[in-house]
Amino acid sequence: MSAKLQQFAGGYFHEDYKVEFPSPDAAVGAFVTEFSEETVAAVLSEIDDLLASSMSEAELYQLWINQLGAAYDPSADGITYRDWFAHVRDLLSRPPAG
């Protein structure tokens, strides 16, 4: 995985992300506003690759939590990792507000 996806996961979903952001969606939104379109596009591309892969939920968990350093566990909110990545992809793909 690229440094961009790791920057997204570890930088916006670190252990104190709940202090900085009112929700996981707000963390994604902050990433979009704070980084260039090229960086967002790079993360989108990586997520597309993940969604096209045959990775299991266990493998996606290992990637998101252990390899990328995210502290947010979507399964605690009843969301599968595959659905979480699809949701993030949708949020990152939206045109900027305003």
**DSSP single-letter state for residue 33:** H
pLDDT at residue number 87: 97
pLDDT at residue number 9: 95
pLDDT at residue number 1: 58
Number of H helices, E strands in the chain: 6, 0
Q: What is the pLDDT along the chain (98 residues), one digit of tens a residue?
A: 578 999 999 999 999 999 999 999 999 999 999 999 999 999 999 999 999 999 999 999 999 999 999 999 999 999 999 999 999 999 999 876 65
pLDDT at residue number 96: 64
Residue 25, CA atoms < 13 Å, CB-side half-sphere:
7
Q: Can you give the residue ranges of every domain in the chain?
A: 3-93
